[in-house]
Structure 1
Amino acid sequence: MRMIDLSTPVDAAAWEPEPVLHEIVTPAEGAVHMAEEMKLHFGVDFDPAVLPDGELLSIDTLKLTTHTGTHIDAPSHYGSTATYGVPRHIDEMPLEWFHRPGVRLDLTGAEGDTVDAEFLDKEFARIGYRPNPLDIVLLHTGASAWAGTQRYFTDFKGLDASATHFLLDLGIRVIGTDAFSLDAPFGKMLAKFKETGDRGVLWPAHFTGREREFCQIERLSNLDALPQPYGFTVSCFPIKIKGAGAGWTRAVALL
């Protein structure tokens, strides 16, 4: 079996709207820290020099949001209420959603900031595949080429409301994208709202989640490395964070 990593790293050196803080205690520092803890809590003197190379264990402490790196948005991320009931958190989602056959759709040639249902329907016809319920649909926008730079957050394609409903009508419950968001870039949505006054242009893909339950994977990578648009399995179990609206995932394609 071949595995293709579809995830972007959590990288404190990369540009983020909400910067990542990554503090590292080295193995040598960890040995000194342990000696101090032994003295403080147990009254025992411990010399780190007796350890191999004077080292013990490293410790990483990170401060970041659950929307940093490749992550899965839960229904509760879209709002506190929904027409179908109480939105579930990421720790409450069924595992069966996150290990399913996958299909990749190519959005790289699409015009504008969003694609609609008609575009997706034609793309399914082009690749000769109609998804089954609970297939995981991956949207290849090409935006992952800009990951780690400011352009990643301003230059990508999303779904409009019709496209999101179209996928959900097919029984899809997990939609993935290699872009920062499943919607259009924030600045372009806000500019369009200011021009038209139409509230429907504001986060239509996300807000569809207030009407219908689904999850989205954002900030995928390497979708162009998939050798074919279908015939693979996506494994993307979210980290189990109690009561959270999202959780990180190490998304992988299995061929």
Structure 2
Amino acid sequence: MRIIDLSSPIDADGWEPDPVRHEVMLPAEGARHMSEEMKQHFGLDFDPTDLPDGELLSLDTLTLTSHTGTHVDAPSHYGSKATYGTPRHIDRMPLEWFLRPGMLLDVSDVGTGVIGCDRIKAELDRVGREPEPLDIVLLRTGAARHAGTLSYFTEFAGLDGPATEFLLDLGVRVIGTDAWSLDAPFTDMIRRYQESGDTSVLWPAHFAGRRTEYCQIERLAHLEDLPGPTGFQVCCFPVKIRNAGAGWARAVALVDE
């Protein structure tokens, strides 16, 4: 079995609307820290210089949102109420959703803006079939090339409401994208709202989750390395953060060779 990494890193050096703080405690600092902790909490003394090279273990402390890097959005991220009941947090989602056959839809020709239902149907015609219920559908928009820059948040394509509802009506419960959001960029949505006054253009892919329970995988990478539109499984188990609206994931594709 070949494993293809579909994840983007959490990188404190990249541009983020909510900056990432990554503080590293080096092994020598870790030895002194442990010595202080043992004395404070347990009343035990030990000399950190007795350790090999005076070092113990490194320690990383990160300050970031659960929507940094490749992550899975839970239904509770879309709102506090839904037509199907109370939206679930990420720690309550069924694991069966996150290890399923995958289907890749290449919509990289759309550019910046909206991916409509007709474009999704045309791509399914090219693939030759519709996704089965619980298949994980991945959208290759081409946005991953901008990861780590400001353009990543302004230059990509996202699903409109009808396109999202179409996939959900087929039984899809996890939709992924290599873009920053499954919706179109904020700048694009707000511009279209200001021009039309139509509130349905605002975050329709997210708000679809208030009518049908589903999850999104955002900020995927390396979708171009997949063997084709089908023929692989997606594994994207989210980190189990209690009562959270999202969880980081190391998303991979499993290709049976």
* TM-based fold match above 0.5: yes
- After superposition, what is the alpha-carbon deviation per residue over 1:165-187, rounded to whole angstroms, capped at 9, x for unaligned? 11011110000000000011001
Equivalences, count: 255
- Which residue in the other structure is 1:212 paired with? 212
Written as runs of structure 1 = structure 2, the 5 A alignment for 1:1-255 is 1-110=1-110, 113-255=113-255
Q: Following the alignment from structure 2 to structure 1, what is the Cα–Cα distance between the partners of residues 15 and 59?
A: 23
Letter in 2 for 1:16: E
Alpha-carbon offset, residue 119 of structure 1: 1.0
Deviation of the 1:40 alpha carbon: 2.9
Q: Distance in 2 between matches of 1:203 and 1:90?
A: 20
1:83-129 superposed Cα distances (whole Å, 9 cap, x missing partner): 11111111111100000000100011125511111111110110223
* Deviations 1:122-156, CA, capped at 9 Å, x for gaps: 10110223211000000000100010000000000
Distance 1:38 1:91 in 2: 33
Q: How far, CA to CA, are the matches of 2:44 and 2:119 in structure 1?
A: 69
Cα displacement (A) at 1:12: 0.7
Structure-1 separation of matches of 2:69 and 2:32:
32
- Is there any run of 5+ residues in structure 2 with no aligned partner, and where? none
For residues 22-81 of structure 1, the C-alpha deviation after alignment (integer angstroms, 9 at most, x for no partner) is 111111100011122233334443221221111101111111101000001111100000
Q: Partners of 2:25 and 2:111 in 1: how far apart?
A: 48
Taking a change above 3 Å as real, the CA distance of residues 29 and 208 of structure 1, as seen in their structure-2 partners, is same
- Flag as ranges the 4+ runs of structure 1 deviating above 4 A: none
Shift of 1:191: 1.0
- Distance in 2 (alpha carbons) for counterparts of 1:211 and 1:106: 26
Secondary structure of the corresponding residue to residue 104 of structure 2: strand
Task: Give distance in 2, aligned partners of 1:225 and 1:72.
Answer: 21
Cα distance in 2 for residues equivalent to 1:86 and 1:29: 46
- TM-score when scaled to structure 1? 0.97
The TM-score with structure 2 as length reference comes to 0.97
Whole-angstrom distance in 1 between the partners of 2:180 and 2:157:
9
Report which stretch shifted further, 17-26 or 47-56: 47-56
Q: Secondary structure at the match of 1:209?
A: helix
Tell me the C-alpha RMSD between the 2 structures.
1.1
Choose 169-178 or 33-42, whichever is displaced more: 33-42
CA offsets 1:230-254 (integer angstroms, 9 cap, x no match): 1100000011111111111000000
